[in-house]
Amino acid sequence: MTSTSARPIPVVTSPEHRGHAPPVEVQCGRPIPAFDTVARMDAIHHALAGEPNVELIGPDVDSAVLESIRGVHDTALVDFLGQAWSAADVPDDGVELV
């Protein structure tokens, strides 16, 4: 029997996750306390950092990554999401979007 070693699970992470700190989430049309907090994300990152079967990688969207994403998602969806935020007409009125 031949032994095969499993590749580590890639986990995309970035210090920029600290910028995602919403005060609330919306569930069934109602605001609730945010589930994803900086403390929760830091705890997950810390727990995974020492795992030998996990590879922490930074976000990097190259053609190979996009092709693997397109392998499981509709190309039109991937293309839309790739430009949706920059194309959004978000008002700069000081109101925090939820």
User: How far is Cα 42 from Cα 45, in angstroms, rounded to an integer?
Assistant: 5
Domain positions in the chain? 8-57, 61-88
On whether the CB atoms of residues 24 and 32 are closer than 8 A, the answer is: yes
| CA dihedral of residues 39, 28, 82, 66 (deg, nearest 10) | 70
Model's pTM, two decimal places? 0.54
pLDDT tens by residue, 3-57 = 456 888 988 888 888 888 888 888 888 889 988 889 998 999 999 998 999 999 8
